[in-house]
Structure 1
Amino acid sequence: MSTPHLRKLLRYRAWADELIYDAVAALPEGASTAPRATIFGNMLRTLSHSWVVDDIFQAHLQGRVHGYTSRNTPEPLPFDELRSRQQAMNGWYLEYASALTPAQAAEVVTFQFIGGGEGRMSREEMVLHVVNHATYHRGFVADMFYQVPVKPPATDLPVFLRDAPQE
C-alpha cells in the first residue's frame, strides 16, 4: 500500500472521528453514557476502546511496552479529554505514516496480544488495522444514536471523498 493511500485513509479516519465526536457532543445530557445494548455498554466506552486500541498499536509501532491488560480503560475518560487524546492520536498516526518508507511500511513487527498469543503484522497492516477498527466501532456508536433516538452523521468513505478537501 502506498504512503499516499495510507495518508488518505488516516485523513478519512480523523474526519469521520470528528463528525462522530461533534455529534456525540451535541446529544442530550447523559445520552453518551446511558447504558446501551452493545459490547462496551455505551457510546463513551466504545469511543474509549477505539482510542485504547490506537494507543496499544502505537506502542507496538514504537517498540515500547503499552502496559494495558485490557482493551479499554478501567473507567471511561471524560468526553473532552478522550476527544483531545483521539485528535492527538489521529495526528500522530498521520505523521507516522507520512514518514514511512516502503521498506519500513513492509517491516513485520511482532507483539503480544492482550488476550494472549503472539501477533505479527507489518507496519502498514497495523496502520490499516487502526483505521478499519475505528470504522467498525463508529458503526456501533452510530447504532446507539438510533437508540437515543437521533440520526447519526454519515461517516462513509464516499462522503469523505465528496465533502472533505483532498490533497
Structure 2
Amino acid sequence: MTNTWSSTAAGDSPSHAVRSYRQLAAYNAWANARLYAAAAELGAEACAKPMGAFFGSILGTLNHLVVTDRIWLARLLATGAPQPPLDTLLETDLARLLPLRVAEDARLTAFVAALDAARLVAPLTYANSSGQSFSQSCASALDHVFNHQTHHRGQAHTLLAQLGGRAAAPSLDLIVFQREQPRA
C-alpha cells in the first residue's frame, strides 16, 4: 500500500516555505536546548521517574525524540539506516543524551539549510517501521518532523511542571523564540 500526499501552506511561495523551515529548525534547536536545561535542573532521578506518559518519563520522551529524528533524517537523506523501535533508550542518563540531541538538531538544521524549492516538493518514498510504503513531499515530511517534536516536547513540558511546578517548565512558545531573534 502506498499513500501519497503533499503539503505546504496554501499560497506559500517556495522561497517563503524554505525560510519557514529554516526558522522551524532554529526554533526546534532552541526549544530542545531550553527543555534539556530545565530537565537537567530538575535532576536525573526526577527525569527518569515513570509518570504514565506515552514514553513513560521525561527521559523516555526525550530519547524517543532523538530516535525519531534519526529515523526521519535517514529517510530524508536516503541513507537506509535501520529503524530502531520508537521506545529505544539510547541513553539512560540525561547528560549523555544531550550531545545526541544537539547532534540531531545540527543535522536537521544542516539539512534544512541546504533545501531549495525543488527539494521541498520532491517526493520522499520510504517504508515505516511496520514496512508499509509511503510517498509524500519532503515538505510534508518536514511538517511532521517539526510537529512531532512540538507534540512530544509538550508532553515533556507537562511532566516538568508536574514534577517541579510551573516554574520548572520554561516557555517553549515559538513567539518567544521569534522575539529573541535579531531583526533582519
Larger radius of gyration: 2
Judge conservation of contact 1:21–1:83 (CA < 8 Å) in 2: yes
Q: Distance in 1 between matches of 2:90 and 2:115?
A: 34
Name the SS for the 1:119 alignment partner.
strand
Note closer, same or farther for the CA distance 1:105–1:42 as it changes in structure 2 (3 Å cut).
Answer: same
Shift of 1:4: 1.1
Unaligned runs of 5+ in 2: 1-7, 9-16
Q: Secondary structure at the match of 2:136?
A: strand
Note the C-alpha offset of 1:74. 4.7
| Alignment partner of 1:8 is 2:20 | no
Q: CA deviation at 1:44?
A: 0.5
Deviation at 1:165, TM superposition (A): 3.5
CA contact (8 A) 1:23 1:153 kept: yes
* 1:20 and 2:35 matched: yes
1:72–1:37 distance in 2 versus 1, CA, 3 Å: closer
For residues 87 and 44 of structure 2, what CA distance do their matches in structure 1 show?
Answer: 23
- Which is further off, 45-54 or 57-66? 57-66
| Match in the other structure for 1:41 | 56
Q: CA deviation at 1:78?
A: 2.5
Unaligned 5+ runs, structure 1: none
Equivalent-residue separation in structure 2 for 1:130 and 1:55 (angstroms) = 11
Q: TM-score, normalised by structure 2?
A: 0.83
Structure 2: which amino acid aligns with 1:24? A
After TM superposition, give the deviation of residue 80 of structure 1 in Å. Answer: 2.0
Tell me, in whole angstroms, the C-alpha distance in 2 between the residues paired with 1:51 and 1:70: 12
- The answer as to 2:174 corresponding to 1:157 is yes
**Contact kept? 2:44, 2:93, Cα under 8 Å:** no
Contact 1:45/1:76, CA 8 A, preserved across alignment: no
Equivalent residue number for residue 120 of structure 1: 135
Q: What TM-score, normalized to structure 1?
A: 0.91
RMSD over aligned Cα, in angstroms?
A: 1.7
Query: Alignment identity in percent?
Result: 29
Amino acid of the structure 1 residue aligned with 2:31: A
Do structure 1's residue 138 and structure 2's residue 149 form an aligned pair?
no
